[in-house]
Amino acid sequence: MPLVPTLELLHGAAARRTGVAAFNVIHLETAEAIVAAAEETRLPVILQISQNCVRYHGSLEPIARAALALASDSPAHVAVHLDHAEDEELTRHAIDLGFGSVMFDGSTLPYEENVAATVRVVEYAHANEVSVEGELGEIGGKDGAHAPGVRTDPAEARRFVAETGVDALAVAVGSSHAMTERTARLDLGLIAALRHAVPVPLVLHGSSGVPDETIEAAIRSGITKVNVSTQLNRFFTEAIRAFLADEPGVVDSRRYVREGRAAVATEAARLMTVFDVAARAASGTETARG
């Protein structure tokens, strides 16, 4: 089906008080796995390509065109999003390629500079019917973005959204990037306060380090878009390690990369079901968690 606008997925999820999975693409195999998970669960998903991913591949266009093709060829509802772009020119390139949304990360800039840069990105994106995710506050693990202890202030968030016109807002509420253990504690009261303070969907970055039950609580408190990268990377790598331990003589990379792709598809499908909180609650299938 045609590429789905990211904002359509976010508004639909916000109305249902459920969460939309936003999974980071590292290479073609992860993109294929994520789309397969969406088709299996019949749940929407957002494919994310970060500035770090672009740097790894050397340019945006090859991996972007692959993700866009997978999304448009799939019967699932799939959006494509540029994640954590600190380069304004990169956001314009993604918009020109046909991305449904871009994230401009000016969180390490002084407030006024963040606003000015974000406004420039919003103006170009909205002129091309593309939505923008902004970031306020810092989310740890990335040289000051999301640093432990830093939190987004609701009053400042309201001002930032009004001044920039962003369509979604990434907030710092206790998560951190690149966590390999799921031990993060979120400030659920702050999430609720932010949801009431701003009229746009809230985004949780660093969700790989957050336990399932805490993510569910965060969605109930007001989070709409849930970003995951490290968790899927871990499953990919562990599956390949296990295969090569059992089959040390294999030299055809397709044989072991296939195992990683399958592991990512399985975990992505599981996470998507976890994030679909409202639907499970309505159907009576949700279970209490200790």
Q: What does the buried/exposed string (b/e) look like for 182-213 if buried means 16 or more CB atoms within 10 Å of the residue's CB?
A: eebebbbebbebbbebbebbbbbbbbbbbeee
Active-site hit among 73, 83, 96, 246: 83
Which residues are known binding-site members for Zn(2+)? 84, 105, 135, 177, 205
Give the pLDDT confidence of 51-78 residue by residue, as tens digits. 999 999 999 999 999 999 999 999 999 9
Cα angle: 66, vertex 70, 74; to 5 degrees: 170
DSSP secondary structure, 188-210, as one string? HHHHHHHHHH-SS-EEE--GGGS
* Mean pLDDT computed over 7-34: 96
pLDDT band at 177 (very low <50, low <70, confident <90, very high): very low
How many residues in the chain? 290
| Confidence (pTM) | 0.90
Which residues are within 8 A (CB) of 248 and not within 5 positions of it... i.e. 6 or more apart? none
Q: The CATH number of 6-283 is which of 3.10.290.10, 3.20.20.70, 3.30.230.10, 3.40.50.620?
A: 3.20.20.70
Give the pLDDT confidence of 81-95 residue by residue, as tens digits. 999 999 999 999 999
Which residues are known binding-site members? 84, 105, 135, 177, 205
pLDDT band at 108 (very low <50, low <70, confident <90, very high): confident
Q: Is 252 designated active site?
A: no
